[in-house]
Structure 1
């Protein structure tokens, strides 16, 4: 999927496709910039990835703002508990989607 150290363009492209970035950026750095501007619920993203295997489906739902994402996350109780900080360097790509939901 999109777990990698951050140097794999294939991992970045997989994540960009999942969240609807089009056209695909040409470098890892460009992908990182594109991903940082997207608001997506990580629980939805993981569920979407599991459900879409072998299927041609639309990208996961994204939100226009952090406030929209925050409202959705609290309302649906789809809370991703940030465990990425304690993991090895194989999760750098997904780390760029983390947002502070609770202030």
Structure 2
């Protein structure tokens, strides 16, 4: 279930970027940017949308699919090898959600953590790390962005 489904009367554009849709929802709900409510709802939105569009269980085919999506080739033969390769990949988690929402397939991959951090800070496409560290799947792709 999408985060947006919980809001009666709000018709999300399922292929629109997550930030755009959250901004439209926040406006319709009267959540002012930067307030505690806005921050809590944004965090809930990110986590729910990640689970809805990206999260996979521990089936090899799902891990291999993620590896292919972020440009890992050849595709690893085990979950352990997938995780090992994914730890070396630098992708923006919000972009990953957006790629899944839009059905575009591939997500932009950065050369290193610094390039990813620069992009993330400039674009504002941050994923709340409060719960991210608890999820093994997210934590594999999570990178330090702020100094």
TM over 0.5: yes
Partner residue in 1 for 2:114: 67
Q: For 1:14, which of 55, 65, 84 is the aligned residue?
A: 65
Partner residue in 2 for 1:42: 93
- TM-score scaled by structure 2? 0.58
The whole-number CA distance in structure 2 between the counterparts of 1:4 and 1:16 is 12
Partner residue in 2 for 1:79: 126
CA contact (8 A) 1:12 1:93 kept: no
Cα deviation, residue 99, structure 1: 0.6
RMSD (Å), alpha carbons: 1.7
* Inter-CA distance 8–2: structure 2 relative to 1 (3 Å threshold): farther
- How many pairs align? 94
Q: Is structure 2 residue 79 aligned with structure 1 residue 28? A: yes
The whole-number CA distance in structure 1 between the counterparts of 2:82 and 2:136 is 12
Gaps of 5+ in 2: 1-52
CA contact (8 A) 1:38 1:97 kept: yes
Larger-gyration structure (1/2): 2
- TM-score scaled by structure 1? 0.81
Higher relative contact order (CA 8 A, sep 6+): 1
Deviation string 1:6-59 (CA, Å, 9 cap, x unpaired) is: x3212211211210111110001110111000000000000001111xxxx452
Q: Is structure 2 residue 139 aligned with structure 1 residue 95? A: yes
Gaps of 5+ in 1: none
CA contact (8 A) 2:60 2:79 kept: yes
Higher helix share: 2
